[in-house]
Amino acid sequence: MDPLNVEALIAEITSDLNDTSKAPDLDALLARGKRALAFDLADARLYSLIGEIKYRQGEKGEAYKLFDQARNLSKTEIHALQRSIGRNIEAGDLAKAVGEIDILLRRWPDQFSAISEGLPTILSNPDGYQAVLAAIRAEAPWRAILIYALSKTPRGIDYANRLLLDLTGSSAPPNSSELSAVISGYFRQKEYGPAYRLFLFSLSDQERKLGGYIFNSKFEPVSRGKPFDWQIPGQSGLEVTFITSQDAVEGEGGATVRFLNTPVKSAALQQLVSLPSGSYKISLIASARNLKLPKGLFWSIKCVDSAGEIARFNIPEGTYNRQTLSQDFSVGPAACPIQLLTLQTAAIAESWRFRYVGTLVMHNLSIERVPS
């Protein structure tokens, strides 16, 4: 091979070092790397490759000198950065390791998996945790992938939860996708309590005014799509809109469900709620215009971990204005920490004999605890 063809030589040495099917001839590779270095003393990659060979030969002190030389020539030399990160984690210099992780992932965003194993060690240390928090508070571009990766493991999710809580109220608060990732991670582990607490603690001062057993009971159009907020499953046959009383005609604000004269199956609106065992009343203030519900329309409360229905609250047909409807129900002492509240029909098949027509406006839907 032409010794001046450094690109080809680097590619070949890298391939030999990465070949897991056979042990590389480290002495031969070292000799070739040194010969190439004589023709190009400013190529950081060559110092890094020679350093890796020395590292594998057990000469770690010499290897790290070469890695440092590589980084003096190029702050973003990928292999030297990875080895330096590992060295600083082992040495306990976690703030420096995080700084190098930031450099690495800004330049090489696809290398997150290469450093992910060291993250629990970093986050378990107060200095390391604070360094990571400072980086993501400064909107490090790897923030989202860090939160998502941590949310996938039982060990990592508590760190992700803590990071989001510490970001709450800062200049870079958690966004809905980050919260959803961590809350979904808790759901996969069936840890509903921490999931709900994270949702509550992440609310802004304005959002806290919408709190209650049902979040945003007046259907203000402020939803950010977080879990435990209103969700509108996509389906044909109806339209759902949230309108404030100021924007609505005749002050009729709330959630408007307009049926399009077609069959309607499944859910129109839903929200996860957390109801401890006890007695409750669900109340709805609603208006309707020419409402025809051939297979019924009702609010259903079900335990997330079982198919059993806790309560069903029917919506009447017809035309009416600000009618108040209520129903008592109870949540038993059996384990059911999280429930799903759903507005749905009883239709099983989309038969055109059962077409839904009219408009329903729900001004307020609330759940309150009552004495047993």
CA dihedral angle for residue 287, residue 290, residue 296, residue 298, rounded to 10 degrees? -10
Cα–Cα distances (Å) from 323 to 311, 352, 358, in that order, read: 20, 29, 16
Mean pLDDT of 164-192: 90
Are the CB atoms for 358 and 292 separated by under 8 Å?
yes
- Tell me: pLDDT of 153 over 60: yes
State the span(s) of the chain assigned CATH 1.25.40.10: 6-201
Q: In this structure, what DSSP letter does residue 22 have? A: S
- Tell me: pLDDT of 372 over 80: no
CATH architecture, domain 6-201: Alpha Horseshoe (1.25)
Work out the burial of residue 14: count CB atoms within 10 Å of its CB; fewer than 13 is exposed, 13-18 middle, 19 or more buried. middle
Pairing of strands 339-345, 278-292: unpaired
What does the pLDDT read at residue 1?
45
83-116 pLDDT, tens digit per residue, is 999 999 989 999 999 999 999 999 999 999 988 8
Out of 170-179, 239-248, 263-272, pick the least confident.
239-248
pLDDT band of 237, cuts 50, 70, 90: confident
Burial pattern 138-167, b for ≥16 Cβ within 10 A else e, equals eebebbebbbbbbbebeebbbbbbebbeeb
CA distance 333 to 254: 33
What does the pLDDT read at residue 46?
86
- Tell me: pLDDT of 359 over 90: yes
**Adjacent-strand bridge partners of 297:** 345
Mean pLDDT of 11-25: 74
Q: By C-alpha distance, which of 361, 367, 204, 182 is closest to 273?
A: 367
270-296 pLDDT, tens digit per residue, is 999 999 999 999 999 999 999 999 989
Residue 338 main-chain phi, psi, to 5 deg: -130, 135
Out of 43-47, 84-88, 337-341, pick the least confident.
43-47
- Tell me: pLDDT of 37 over 80: no
The CATH code belonging to domain 238-370 is 2.60.120.260
Please give the residue that has the higher pLDDT: either 76 or 227: 76
Mean pLDDT of 291-320: 91
* Tokens 């499953």, located at residue: 233
- Tell me: pLDDT of 215 over 90: yes
- Tell me: pLDDT of 170 over 90: no
CA distance 66 to 277: 64
Q: By C-alpha distance, which of 329, 356, 314, 212 is closest to 271?
A: 212
The H or E element spanning position 156 is helix 154-167
What does the pLDDT read at residue 307?
67
| Summary mean pLDDT of the chain | 87
120-146 pLDDT, tens digit per residue, is 889 999 999 999 999 999 989 999 999
Mean pLDDT of 364-370: 95
Cα–Cα distances (Å) from 202 to 170, 176, 191, 207, 304, in that order, read: 11, 10, 17, 9, 22
CA distance 307 to 222: 31
State the span(s) of the chain assigned CATH 2.60.120.260: 238-370
Name 319's Cβ contacts closer than 8 Å, sequence gap at least 6. 288, 289, 290, 291
